[in-house]
Amino acid sequence: MKASPPTEAPSRWRAGARHLRSSATTRVAGRPRLRKNAVRALKSLGGAIGYAAFVEPYWISLTHVDVPVPGLSPELDGYRIVHLTDIHHNLVSGPAFLESVVRTANSLDGDLVALTGDFVTHNPRRMPQCFRILSGLRAPDGIFATRGNHDYGLPLDRMSRIARRAGVRLLENEHETVSASRHRIAGGGDARIVVAGVGDLWEGHPNPSLALMGAPSDGVRVLLSHNPQVAEIVAPWHRVAIQLSGHTHGGQVRPFHRPLRMLSDGTAKYASGLVEAPATRVYVSRGVGTSALRLRWNCRPEIALVVLRSVPGEP
């Protein structure tokens, strides 16, 4: 004889059964969903970190910057300066990467190359190898450099010798005047460029007056300074047409397109790009390498081609 089910379960049973059903549902459906979301989040975080560590630091961008120079002689209109900065030669910015940077820089057909410091990060023993690779740079009017805050691990004369062997002229509060070889004046004269370099703001003693002392008045003046804030001590009588700088790395890691680092030291105005300073213009490059965090996010490494453009006005 078959037992018939109870027609009405006691209310305590019904409540208990409802509770059991709801906890079972939570265990079966709720935890896997949580786990799935956590896995998805970890995957996207891992992907983001992988991208910031292994993709963007090697994804060089080329920037073409036209710089208006009032009173620039028409012969120099279109003068091309290839600007590299903050190489930070290390395992991330290693030999193969740096060789590809040199090849790309040479493809820009610059008249002159400007290197604005931070060739290494903490290890000055990497300096010779860094300059050996940079010796592949080519420019008819020369390759000039200045030191960044990370380059003071070697004495100046030692670093100058390493640079000279690579065909690079290191400038520390001094200048050199070069004839613009591809821009000769029809009458036989020379169009001249004054390239000046100053010491680093943090580790050295930047002195634009000393750097430009005795510079000819007719040459267009280009100032190399690792730290862009030196522009605040450049005066109108220095007549600097353009200052080339780095140091900020453009922020390097920019979640939501806002830099994580750098703002605390007051360089926000000079984060990156072409900036109007009190007495000159500054081009601040995002640089080639990385320091501190070896990551880049929304802030690709950069090689800049700075082109001087003649505009009416007093030099």
The answer to whether 302 contacts Fe ion (rule: CB under 5 A) is: no
Which of these segments, 13-21, 59-67, 111-119, 180-188, binds Fe ion (CB under 5 A)? 111-119
# of chain residues touching Fe ion (CB under 5 A): 2
Helix (H) or strand (E) holding 83: strand 79-84
The answer to whether 174 contacts Fe ion (rule: CB under 5 A) is: no
With contact defined as beta carbons under 8 Å apart, do 238 and 277 qualify?
Answer: no
Which of these segments, 48-56, 70-78, 118-126, 129-137, binds Fe ion (CB under 5 A)? 118-126
With contact defined as beta carbons under 8 Å apart, do 220 and 195 qualify?
Answer: no
Q: Name which of residues 86 to 105 contact Fe ion (CB under 5 A).
A: 86
Rounded to an integer, what distance in angstroms lies between the CA atom of residue 269 and that of residue 280? Answer: 14
In the complex, minimum distance from the CB of residue 138 to Fe ion, in angstroms, rounded to a whole number: 24
Phi and psi at 181, nearest 5°, equal -65, -35
Q: How many CB atoms lie within 10 A of CB 37?
A: 10
The answer to whether 118 contacts Fe ion (rule: CB under 5 A) is: yes
In the complex, minimum distance from the CB of residue 290 to Fe ion, in angstroms, rounded to a whole number: 8
With contact defined as beta carbons under 8 Å apart, do 249 and 86 qualify?
Answer: yes
Tokens of 203: 């580790």
Helix (H) or strand (E) holding 235: none
The answer to whether 151 contacts Fe ion (rule: CB under 5 A) is: no
Which of these segments, 13-21, 52-60, 69-77, 79-87, binds Fe ion (CB under 5 A)? 79-87
Which of these segments, 20-28, 42-50, 66-74, 80-88, binds Fe ion (CB under 5 A)? 80-88
In the complex, minimum distance from the CB of residue 103 to Fe ion, in angstroms, rounded to a whole number: 22
Phi and psi at 70, nearest 5°, equal -60, 135
Residues that bind Fe ion (CB under 5 A): 86, 118
